[in-house]
Every structure is written in structure tokens, then in C-alpha cells.
Amino acid sequence: MSLLNDAQQNAVAELLRVSPVADELGRRFGAAGHELHLVGGSVRDALLGRLGDDLDFCTDARPEQTLTLVHGWADAIWETGREFGTIGIQKNGLRIEITTFRAESYDGVTRNPVVSYGTSLLDDLSRRDFTINAMAVSLPGHEFTDPFGGVQDLAAKVIRTPATPQASFGDDPLRMLRAARFAAKLQFTVDESVISAMRDMAADLDRITAERIRDEFTKLICSADPLAGLRLLVDTGLADRFLPELSGLKLEIDEHAQHKDVYEHTLIVVTNAMRLEGDDSPDFVLRMAALMHDVGKPATKAVGRDSRVSFHHHEVVGARLTKQRMKAMKYPKDVTSDVVGLVALHLRFYGYGRGEWTDSAVRRYVTDAGPLLSRLHKLTRSDVTTRNRRKASALAADYDALEDRIARIEAEEDLAKVRPDLDGNAIMELLGVPPGPIVGQAWRYLKELRLDRGPLDHDEAETELLKWAREQGHIS
């Protein structure tokens, strides 16, 4: 155990000052003969000056005893984590989790932890993932406990494990992914002994459910410095266990058939996309699309007779691979659909600067992108990583021109709601047909005509529909 210096004492005092609920809760547990300690990320974030509204506590009280102590005091209670020893409550706008001292581990076979309760704070802290998360403040006495040098590691910005990395990752292999995530979130370095164990034990990640991996990876992608975490995943082989397409971007480059480094290019695109997010919260869909936009290149790489390298239709292959991977990682269908859509569309812009696009092409670009248009703008701009300033400026100017053109056409037409100039009822009345396939075919024909030529007046739309119907043999 170690004592805090004055600055650290002040940090803890500030934590308790802004969260008076902590002392009040500590007194309730103490009066009942139980311990209560603020732990983990709450202590770490307080020392870093990043304390939020979520507080984590541990206690020797069992879940049923915790429920008794908070009943009538908490503003709300939830028991979704009760089987793992955790009771959640809300008090004065704070979200609080209280967990019984734990001694959980994996049995080396199943994908879920074997939960058993611990008997002391020291045992509980020794089972935590990293030293910077293995500190505690006891309540209501405010005693600080740091048995594994978390304060020193926090100051040094290094990620280490309380026990040996092998023992820690053996308890929960997901911690290897968490090491990469904390490196990305906190912009800390990972101790070499931890990195070595991650390489040696990467295959153990296969014992973790896809959902847990997905959630941890999503946090990594949405962190302050995802590139640090992504590089760590690739360098340790962890990416090969759940996202092999990322490592696969490291294509071999020979002196006779050179092309840009696809892996490094991809990481730059992710960085560029982050810069275009603005002040909003991290955009997982945009970042994931940036990460996956070129995963179709390895499968489509070809070298021509002139030694030029091509990746024809890599956006199509990439969209298919992205869909397969995100499905395997159990991402929601709507999130997967958005990412896949961006990957499929990320090359559509090229060719615009050569003057090949008609208004019809612009309408189709906007219609195909739909609600993804704003993200597609950002992804397309992010994909320009050339060091040739003249080329980069020309591409940026071309895209500026396209956005201006979209704005002009949108001012004349509602591109977000492109629909045929005749609805289903008008089609049936004009053609004298009942509801059925012919109506759908006619509707799609009129929509294509609308995209090609812009809005038609009513009489023109009817003339075109009748002409089409005769050609198709639907009317004489």
C-alpha cells in the first residue's frame, strides 16, 4: 500500500467533493458492518481529471445485502448484472455500480467467466486487468490503496498488469484487447512484458464471445487514438483472431510492381475521417468504413503487362467482406448496412473531375447514398492521401465542385425524396391495371426516368408511361 502525495490527495478530495453521494453510501455500508471502496476507472479518471457521472464501487457485501442497503435510498435500481455480483443504482444523476469482491476467472474451455466471490479488497484488486485500474479509495474514511504501483504507472503513462500478464490474460483473454483499447483511449504505452504475452497468447482470444470482442473493439475504434490500438492488434496477431482483413492489408510490394502501402494508407484515411467528424461524438460508422474501405484490394490485386498494379472492383469485394466480418462480430444489421454501403460507394466519385458526370449521374449519386451522403462526402475526402499537392488540390477542388452541384440541383429538386412523378394509384388508373407486378415495374421505370431527366410535368409523365407500357406489351 502507498500513500498519496498532496496533489493526489487533492485529486481524491475533489472526487469526493463533486460526488458527496460516495460518502453517504459509504456510511450506509459501514453502519451495516460492510466495506465499501471506490475502485477501478473511477479512481483512475479522478486522478487524470476526467471523472464522469459513472462510479464503480466494490464491497464485501453480497448482492442481496447490497440490494437491502440501497433500497429506499437509490433513485433507481437495476439487477441485470446480479449473477456477476453487480447491482446498479442511480442517485442524484450519478450511475453507480456496486460489485461484490470478485475472484472470477476463465476455466480455459468455455467463453464465459466462472464467477466466485472474493474475501478482501486486496484480492479483488489483484484480479483486476491493469495497475492503473487497481487502485481504491475506502469510504467513508478516504484511505487510498495502491498495492501494485498504479499511481506510478499513471504518471509514467504505461499499461502493466497487477499479476503477471500471463496470469491476468489467463483469467480473461479479453484483457489483451483491453490493453490495446486503453493504449488508444489514454494514449499510454503498453509494457513490453504485456505485449510479449499478447503475442504468445493471442489464440486465447478465440475463447471470448463475439459480442464481448465487438464491444471492446468498438470502444477502441471510437477512442482518442485508435491507430495506436490498431497497430498493437496487428503487431501482436490479435487482429488475426477476429479481424484478419486488417492484417491482410499489408500487401507485399516489390520493386517492379509498386503501389502505395495499403495498410498505412488505411490508417491515414481513418485519421483523416476523424478530423472531419467535427465536434460531435466519435462516428463509429464513418471510422469503420474508413478502416474497411480497401479490404477488397488483396483479393483483387493484379499486375498488368506494364507492371502497373490494379485493384479492379475492390469496392464490390470489400463491401462483401465487410458484411461477412461485421456479421461474424454480431454488429446490428443497420450499423452493418451503413458501413457496407459506404465501402461500396467510396470509389463512385472518381471520374467526376473528367467531366463525365451528367445531372442524372449526380442524382443517382445522391439517391444511392441516401442518408449516408454526409458520411460519404467525408469518407471520399479522407481517401485522398497522395503526397502530390497538386493532385490533392485538384481532387479537393473536384469534390468541392460536386458538392456545389449537388446543392444546386437540390435547390431545384428534393433529391432526398426522389420519387416517380406518378404514384401507384395514378399508374393503375392510367394503365387500367389492378395492383400487381406491372404497377411495380411501371413505378421503377418512372423513377429511373426521374433520375435521368429530373422532374417531369404530369402530362409528360403520363406520355412516357403509356409509351413504356405499349413497348412492354401491357397495353395495345
Q: Region 250-264: what's the mean pLDDT?
A: 64
| Residue 459: CB atoms within 10 Å | 8
Q: Which residues pair with 172 in a beta bridge?
A: none
Does 258 have pLDDT greater than 70? no
Class of domain 6-156: alpha beta
- Rounded to an integer, the average pLDDT of 106-125 is 73
Confidence of residue 429 (pLDDT cuts 50, 70, 90): confident
- Whether the per-residue pLDDT at 111 is higher than 60: the answer is no
Q: Higher pLDDT residue, 80 or 9?
A: 80
pLDDT in the model for residue 192: 97
* Predicted confidence (pLDDT) at residue 8 exceeds the cutoff of 90: no
At 107 the pLDDT is 58
* Whether residue 245 has pLDDT greater than 90: yes
Output 290 or 458, whichever has higher pLDDT: 290
Q: For residue 388, with 0-12 CB atoms within 10 Å meaning exposed, 13-18 middle and 19 or more buried, which class applies?
A: exposed
Q: Does 415 have pLDDT greater than 60?
A: no
- pLDDT tens column, 57-76: 999 999 999 999 999 999 99
Report the C-alpha gap between 399 and 389 in whole angstroms: 15
pTM equals 0.81
- E-strand spans in 121-268? 136-139, 144-145, 158-159, 189-190
Other beta carbons within 10 angstroms of residue 314's beta carbon come to 23
Q: pLDDT value at position 402?
A: 86
296, 328, 298: which is closest to 217 by C-alpha? 328
The sign of the dihedral angle between the CA atoms of 73, 76, 79, 85 is: negative
Average pLDDT of the residues in 261-265:
90
* Tens-digit pLDDT profile for residues 329-350: 999 999 999 999 999 999 888 7
What single string gives the DSSP state of each residue in 49-117?
T---SEEEEEESS-HHHHHHHHTTTSSEEE-TTGGGTEEEEEETTEEEEEEE-B--B--SSSSS-B--B
Count, residues in the chain: 476
More confident residue, 356 or 428: 428
Q: Which range (36-40, 307-311, 339-343) has the least confidence? A: 307-311
What's the confidence (pLDDT) of residue 412?
63
Question: Sign of the CA dihedral 407, 411, 413, 418?
Answer: positive
Q: Among 198-207, 415-424, 441-450, whose mean pLDDT is lowest?
A: 415-424
pLDDT score for 254: 46
Residue with more model confidence, 135 or 408: 135
What are the pLDDT digits (tens) for 174-209? 999 999 999 999 999 999 999 999 999 999 999 999
pLDDT value at residue 257:
42
Cell (9 digits) for 183? 493504449
pLDDT at 274: 96
286, 373 Cβ separation under 8 angstroms: no
Q: Choose the weakest-confidence range: 115-124, 330-339, 411-420, 421-430.
A: 411-420
pLDDT of residue 3: 42
More confident residue, 298 or 285: 285
- Residue 255 confidence (pLDDT): 45
| Most confident range, picked from 44-48, 128-132, 358-362 | 128-132
* Residue 385 · residue 266 · CB < 8 Å: no
> What is the pLDDT, as a whole number, of residue 19?
74
Determine the Cα–Cα distance for residues 84 and 82; give it in Å rounded to an integer. Answer: 5
Domain boundaries along the sequence of the chain: 6-156, 243-416, 419-471
Q: Is the dihedral of CA 143, 146, 151, 152 positive or negative?
A: positive
The Cβ of residue 84 has, within 10 Å, a number of other Cβ atoms equal to 14
When the pLDDT of each residue in the chain is averaged and rounded to a whole number, the result is: 86
Task: Kindly state the average pLDDT of the residues 16-34.
Answer: 88
What is residue 416's predicted lDDT score, i.e. its pLDDT?
A: 55
